[in-house]
Amino acid sequence: MVRSEAGVGLLSEATVRTLAGAQITAPSELLAFDFDDTAAPAPQGFERLAESALLRRSDLDAVGDELLSWGLQLGSGMTVRANDVPLRAGTVVVLGLGFGLVRLPIPCRVTEVIDEPHRRGFVYATLPGHPECGVERFLVERRGDDVWVHIDALSRPGWLLSRIGAPVMRWAQRWMTRRYLRALAR
């Protein structure tokens, strides 16, 4: 079933079938990576990006619901077209980054949903057409009275152009991560 909420566009059934059947471009070792091990090095050929922010809000359930409804991506200025809201394991999404009608399509598939008493979040992996190859985890977590947001990514350039422009792509990834953090920190 295709469902949507405010701000999230629906993917066509044909696009959902194509993306659901597409091979994830990230190697399987990334899908099993333990992001909670902060000392774990990135697998060879991949860079690790890990950022966290303390949120002003303390309602983990509300922040978790927002996260699982693509609120972080929407709040950072991306367009979101998905087949499920709230997301679930297997949800496919095409994020859009750019200005006006000029948007870079960024296809991903949700590989894991985290729903624990003190933590909520998800992991998605890149699909063909994504400028990067890798996985990214978005997590909100209660620590005492505080709620934190964590963003962790393992990636390498996925296109020839992104390999050539790797320093610019790394800068863009850090810039986007800061936008993600601000989206929930408001």
Domain contains 36: no
Domain contains 39: no
Structural domain tally of the chain?
1
Spell out the per-residue pLDDT of the chain, length 186, in tens.
334 457 899 999 999 999 999 999 999 999 999 999 999 999 999 999 999 999 999 999 999 999 999 999 999 999 999 999 999 999 999 999 887 778 889 999 999 999 999 999 999 999 999 989 999 999 999 999 999 999 999 999 765 565 566 677 777 778 888 888 888 876
Q: What is the mean pLDDT of the chain?
A: 90
Assign residue 19 the CATH number of its domain. 3.30.530.20
Domain contains 168: yes
Residue-number span of the structural domain to which 78 is assigned: 8-31+45-185
| DSSP assignments along 8-67, one per residue | EEEPPHHHHHHHHHSPPSS-HHHHT--TT-TTPPPPTT-EEEEEEEE-S---HHHHHHHH
Query: What's the pTM?
Result: 0.91
